[in-house]
Amino acid sequence: MNKQIRWVSLWSAMLVLALLTNLTYMNVFQQAGLEANDYNLRAREAEFDVQRGEILAGETVIAKSVEADKSATFRYQRVYTNGPLYAPITGFYAYNYGQTRIENSYNTYLSGTSSAQWWQNLVDMVSGRTPGGASVMTTIDPELQQAAWDALKGYQGAIVAMDPHTGAIKALVTSPSYDPNQIASADLRSAEAAYNKLSKDETGPMSDRGTREIFPPGSTFKLIVSATALEHGYSADTMIDTPDRLKLPGTDSYLPNSAYCGNTQVTLRRALELSCNTSFANLGVKLGADAVRAQAQKFGFGTGHLDELGGAASHFPDQVDDAQMMLSSIGQFDVAATPLQMAMVASAFVNDGKLAEPYLVQEVRAPDLRLLYSHEVTTTQAVSAETAKGMRDLMISVVNNGGGVKARISGVTVGGKSGTAESDPSSPNYAWFVSFALDPDIVVTVFLQRDMAKPIDLWGGADAAPVARAVLKASR
């Protein structure tokens, strides 16, 4: 009998030990994950009982929390000022659907639960004050954001504007957009209906075409091929074989030029001004896939950027034959990039070859204005200062003498490169324009997916360049 009692006691002790071990593990190692779990209604309701911090663009409050109606499930409701304009930046914070974009990436600061705020929260608890969330200051310029939004009207696409020296994102718009207020509504049935409708919308209003989706960059990729050439000893005056059309090796297909480029040779400068496909197809093969790929990676290809928004990685294919390399050299085949990535390419040229990692949040401050976080600029050397100067000169020539004439601004030095890329055979062409203006320095990339009024082909020089011009002009 005593032996049985001992076994029961031992077994009970082991169960208690296992229970205590599990509770300790959950509290020490799994607490953060459990608190963030979407199924943890208690944690979610506790968050909605705290006044969440503001999100700002300059001095403009673009997201804040206000007391919800007394009939609501929660105490505070999120409100977005000019919601569609800033939706790809703020995202939404909703009872039923969690949070996205900055609302997600800075959630612990905004909700007041970050490790940097524990002491203030403890003081608030002891003193009986209600804890509050920290404020997030973005790098967005409200006036430039509005100008980009206005310039994109009528198109499905995106615009990214950035400071080439710091990487600060000054404008980020995507169209069509949506109103986060509908999803953040205290009326949960209304919020559910809005979310379901937006999710099913084929135009993708909740998509972020600027940072989270990749597209064939078309002739804007010729900037990377040109930079590779300059890095390998070519100059703007180097002559390049430029036939009217070029047979793709191993196929029965021919690559034509969209502009009249002659049928002999042209300089690298003239090839970029006219965007001669056969010039860059020949140049890309001569440089080699490894060299172009390595240069693309120095500009940021293969790596996601702007973690605040979960930015996608741009892509250059790992293995290509000569025909595929020819197509890749003009931004087709399997080459794909975000508008943010192409803005980064131009930014390195303006910044003497140094590539500043893009960012969207400048600083975070506690309710008492104590600084909790401040961004530090980081750069890498993408190309030499000499190559950067050469590329600035080439892009200025494109605007002054080539396919970028519609981006000209009187009295302002503007450089750019247009791109027209084939998309799905049943869809219109994509139109790109990658550009910069100097003094003050700004980089603007425009991507037009389609005209929302009519299904027609779009062109980089004809359609995207004037949009870029409007944004560049607004930055003066």
pLDDT > 90 in the chain, percent: 80
pTM for this predicted structure: 0.90
* Assigned domain for 105 exists: no
Poorest-pLDDT segment among 262-266, 382-386, 424-428: 424-428
What is the pLDDT, as a whole number, of residue 46? 66
Alpha-carbon distance 97 to 77, whole Å?
13
Residue with tokens 């400068």: 269
On whether residue 303 sits in a domain, the answer given is yes
With a cut of 90, say whether residue 216 has pLDDT above it. yes
What is the domain range of residue 289? 218-360+377-474
Between CA 102 and CA 175 the distance in angstroms is 19
Task: Look at residue 27 in the predicted model and tell me its pLDDT.
Answer: 59
Total domains in the chain come to 1
User: Is residue 440 reached through a cis peptide bond, with omega within 30 degrees of 0 on the bond before it?
Assistant: yes
pLDDT confidence of residue 68: 85
Q: Supply the pLDDT for residue 43.
A: 56
Hey, which residues are catalytic here?
219
- Residue 366 included in any domain: no
Residue 405 in any domain: the answer is yes
pLDDT beyond 80 at 343: yes
Determine, yes or no, domain membership for 107: no
Q: Is 224 left (phi over 0), alpha (psi -120 to 50) or beta?
A: alpha
Percent of the chain, pLDDT > 70?
92
pLDDT bin (cut points 50, 70, 90) of residue 93 is very high
Q: What is the mean pLDDT of residues 180-204?
A: 95
At 26 the pLDDT is 62
Please answer whether residues 62 and 124 qualify as being in contact, where contact means their C-beta atoms are separated by less than 8 angstroms.
no
pLDDT, one tens digit per residue, over 5-55 is 777 777 777 777 877 777 666 655 565 555 555 555 555 666 777 899 999
pLDDT digits (tens, 9 = 90+) for 347-389: 999 999 999 999 999 999 999 899 999 999 999 999 999 999 9
In-domain check, residue 116? no
Distance between CA 451 and CA 262 in Å, rounded? 32
| 335 in any annotated domain | yes
Range from 124-138, 330-344, 444-458 carrying the lowest mean pLDDT? 124-138
**Is 208 exposed, middle or buried (CB count within 10 Å of its CB: 0-12, 13-18, 19+)?**
buried
Q: Does the residue 31 lie in any domain?
A: no
Does an H or E element contain 72, and which? none
* pLDDT higher than threshold 90 for residue 61: yes
- Residue 190, CA distances (Å) to 171, 181, 209, 336 in order: 31, 11, 27, 38
Q: What is the CATH number of the domain that holds 314?
A: 3.40.710.10
Distance from the Cα of residue 335 to its chain's centroid: 17
Kindly report which listed range (41-45, 59-63, 241-245) carries the lowest average pLDDT score.
41-45
Q: 80: pLDDT confidence band, cut at 50, 70 and 90?
A: very high
Alpha carbons 392 and 417: distance in angstroms, whole number: 11
Predicted confidence at residue 72, as pLDDT, reads 74
